Homo-oligomer: A and B are copies of this chain.
């Protein structure tokens, strides 16, 4: 079965980076055109584009947007301006390492072109961004095949959104589930709605339906009883950053799933391309966890809300220790029982941030 993405979350059109505004989905399909780096940063911070691999691709295209902006505005010191735009872009969100990875990988390609800032800078960046994009697409297919092979009957569970909306291809964990369903290695997907922003209910349900995959959406607090009462044979989640010892950050609720999976003796897999590894950090404790505004939790109350200020805590991610991970599904294969030693061997001498 060939795997083709059914929507392109991030792409390039003429002189612009184009995004699907995921905050409007599934109700409306709206595109955002980014001709300025700030527009792209705003879109990233508003989660109009989100998902670790898609942020890597967006970061790479963003360097081309930066170069285009330099060429259009002709600042006095073009490289200085370009560098500051790239730095702002790389810092737009703290947890997913892929964003900086995409920015840095594209930037390296134009180092040799200094000091002139010509059209060639833009063209080189755009070529590299497209290469990163198509590489991510290919990696998705490879992960899907490696991951599907790990299933052999029953239903699977996932959290957040990890499909074509947040990658350059068919997705990370979603790609695995889709391929496993098409190969009849699973017969159902239970997807957590994923509070506060409901990426599961809004986006994953939409992707599952479009792919004709049998699914059920549950509230996050139902995961434990579904693991006990339904035939869940495995859990697959994405990752925003995997560090040297195999600890990883992902959407809040992932650590909960890992603990519940252990209790119910259900295999727990992480699907992420090598662009998600950050071997510069030794344990998960060092990963910066983005805290987002209370409004994301409170908006659900609409007008049914007292005037008193609410006290809420809104971490967007949590860290799962490698001891709870059955395997990391990557484009080059599945690393079982990850730890500092075998992660280092798995990544090889080049490390990852190429």
Chain A interface residues (CB < 8 Å from chain B): 24-28, 159, 190, 192-196, 198, 201-202, 205-206, 209, 215-226, 228, 252-253, 255-256, 259-260, 262-263, 297-298, 300-301, 303-306, 308, 310-315, 318-319
Contacts and interface: CB of A to CB of B under 8 A. Distances in A.
A254 to B, nearest CB: 8
Q: Which of A24, A190, A215, A221 has the largest number of chain B CB atoms within 10 A?
A: A221
28 contacts: A26-B305, A27-B303, A192-B221, A198-B301, A201-B301, A202-B301, A202-B304, A205-B311, A215-B311, A217-B297, A217-B311, A219-B314, A220-B220, A221-B253, A222-B253, A224-B253, A224-B256, A224-B318, A225-B252, A225-B255, A225-B256, A225-B318, A225-B319, A226-B313, A228-B255, A259-B263, A262-B263, A300-B300
Contacts of A319: 225
Contacts of A252: 219, 221-222, 225
B259 A313 contact: no
Nearest to A27: B304
A175 B20 CA distance: 48
B217 A220 contact: no
Contacts of A262: 263
B193 A193 contact: no
Contact of A201 (B159, B193, B300): B300
A310 B217 contact: yes
A256 to B, nearest CB: 4
Nearest to A251: B221
B222 A313 contact: yes
A52 B255 CA distance: 31
A205 B225 CA distance: 26
A263 B320 CA distance: 13
A254 B201 CA distance: 22
Nearest to A219: B195
A313 B318 CA distance: 25
Contacts of A220: 195, 219-221
A233 to B, nearest CB: 18
Contacts of A318: 222, 224-225
Contacts of A159: 221
Contacts of A206: 306
A225 B315 contact: yes
B209 A194 contact: no
Given A195-B195, A300-B201, A218 B313 contact: yes
